[in-house]
Amino acid sequence: MSRIKNAFDGKKAFIGFVTAGDPSLSKTEEFVLEMEKAGASLIELGIPFSDPIAEGVVIQQANIRALSAGCTTDKIFDMVQSLRTKTQIPLVFLAYANTLYKYGYESFCKKCSEVGIDGVIIPDLPFEEKGELSDIAVKNGIDIISLIAPTSEQRIQMIAKQATGFIYVVSSMGVTGVRSEIKTDVESIVNAIRSVTDVPVAVGFGINTREQVLKYTNIADGAIVGSAIVKIIAKYGETAASHIYDYVSELTKGL
């Protein structure tokens, strides 16, 4: 069983997100371990990028902090290699297509495999264009995590049929960020997905309360929380670990 499958095996998955290198890579490693201790099943590591078009202001600023601190893709790979000596929690990158293209698809996927990355989420890679990457990813045992948005409509089942790892259902239109209310009919999207595949489904974009986590893990197989965790890091910086632990512990209670 792959590490990503382990995240959803017999339980609902809480997926936490941090921007790698914010405020430093040693702290990113610490934050991942704290989230695992608090009950997270899988972690998304954002590779900082200068134009993260899917992100709201909170994660945009985290990208700027990480890049300003000298974070690079190679340094992130080194951090993951270190992290893998301490944990086997499933790890996926959230990266923009240009990062992979510039690094080289073959080199990037090979390095992911070597250090222990299980999958990659690429928000700006359209489904119709993933062919140039997917065979290379498969060869290296890396899942390309498919995103399905409220506007996917007739494309939902087409995307879902080819999905591997897990499917990321985008709960809301727009960019990432904390939302007090999510109005999308997520359940109908999940039902459409489940009619064609048994690949696990996790819901993200805007989720930040225990009530939302419980609601969406009741509908789907997992819930993704990103901006709310990054806000804690923005507030507490180097001393954020205990605050992240407390927050994630509260959100995973009852899963």
Q: 1 in a domain, yes or no? A: no
Q: 2 in a domain, yes or no? A: no
Structure tokens at 127: 């489904």
- Is-contact 29 2, C-beta < 8 A? no
Residue 212 clears pLDDT 70, i.e. is over it: yes
Q: 32 in a domain, yes or no? A: yes
Q: 5 in a domain, yes or no? A: no
Distance (Å, rounded) from C-alpha 135 to C-alpha 137?
5
Q: 72 in a domain, yes or no? A: yes
Question: Under DSSP, is residue 86 helix (H, G, I), strand (E, B) or coil?
Answer: coil
Q: Would you report the helix, strand and coil content of the chain in percent, each value rounded to 5?
A: 50, 15, 35
Q: How far is CA 185 from CA 111, 135, 189, 208, in A?
A: 38, 33, 7, 18
Dihedral Cα 235, 55, 2, 39, nearest 10 deg = 30
The angle at the Cα of 48, spanning 46 to 50, to the nearest 5 degrees, equals: 140
* Amino acid 185: pLDDT: 86
* Amino acid 172: pLDDT: 65
**Sign of the CA dihedral with 29 first, then 72, 230, and 16 last:** negative
Nearest to 229 by CA among 27, 78, 10, 5: 27
Q: Which of 93-107, 162-176, 210-224 has the lowest mean pLDDT?
A: 162-176
Q: 3 in a domain, yes or no? A: no
Residue 231 clears pLDDT 80, i.e. is over it: yes
The proportion of the chain whose per-residue pLDDT surpasses 70, expressed as a percent, equals 95
Q: Please give the average per-residue pLDDT across 175-197, as a whole number.
A: 74
Q: How confident is the model at residue 15 (pLDDT cuts 50, 70, 90)?
A: very high
Q: How confident is the model at residue 54 (pLDDT cuts 50, 70, 90)?
A: confident
Q: Which domain holds residue 215?
A: 13-252
Q: 169 in a domain, yes or no? A: yes
Q: Which residues contact 134 (CB under 8 A, 6 or more apart)?
A: 144
Model pLDDT for residues 144-184, shown as the tens digit of each residue: 999 998 888 889 999 999 999 999 999 865 444 444 455 47
Q: Please give the average per-residue pLDDT across 240-252, as a whole number.
A: 98
CATH number for position 63: 3.20.20.70
- Is-contact 181 208, C-beta < 8 A? no
Q: Which long-range contacts (CB under 8 A, 24 or more apart) does 154-159 make?
A: 155/127, 156/189, 156/192, 156/193, 157/192, 157/193, 157/195, 157/196, 158/127, 159/127
pTM above 0.85?
Answer: yes
Q: 6 in a domain, yes or no? A: no
Overall number of domains in the chain:
1
Nearest to 158 by CA among 193, 125, 188, 200: 193
Distance (Å, rounded) from C-alpha 219 to C-alpha 195?
14
